Amino acid sequence: MASFAPQRECEMLKIERHCEECGTKFLLSGRIQSDQIDCIQSAIRDDSAPKILDLSDVTLVDLEVIRFLIRCEEEGIELVQCPHYVRRWIFRERAESEQSEPSRGD
């Protein structure tokens, strides 16, 4: 298990890395704000194994974090133990972005 958290940028966020048979799980704990996305990206970037973000200990997120989590899923990173309010926000944000995209059937 390894912890990643550069002192200033990630004061309210803790990232623990666990290697498992199915891939590498990153347990995120605390508040995640948009200025901490780089901390998460640098933690997961160097690992070539399938990635899992465990959000069970996440207490607060902002809109940019929701958009980041959507991009993670689109890139094949699995989100597990996602708090209900975060999952609902992800669904809402996806629905809104799909509605705002122009139709491509012309």
Bridge partners of 58, per DSSP, are: 30
CB neighbour list of residue 93: distance below 8 Å, 6 or more residues apart: 63, 66, 67, 70
Flag whether 72 is in a domain: yes
The span from the CA of 63 to the CA of 29, in Å, is: 17
The whole-model pTM stands at 0.82
CB neighbour list of residue 74: distance below 8 Å, 6 or more residues apart: none
Flag whether 88 is in a domain: yes
Condensed to tens digits (0 to 9), the pLDDT of residues 20-60 reads 888 899 999 999 999 999 999 998 987 778 999 999 999 99
Average pLDDT over residues 55-82: 96
Flag whether 7 is in a domain: yes
Flag whether 16 is in a domain: yes
Flag whether 106 is in a domain: no
Overall number of domains in the chain: 1
Flag whether 105 is in a domain: no
The span from the CA of 5 to the CA of 56, in Å, is: 18
Q: Which domain holds residue 58?
A: 2-100
Q: Residue 23 sits in a domain of what CATH number?
A: 3.30.750.24
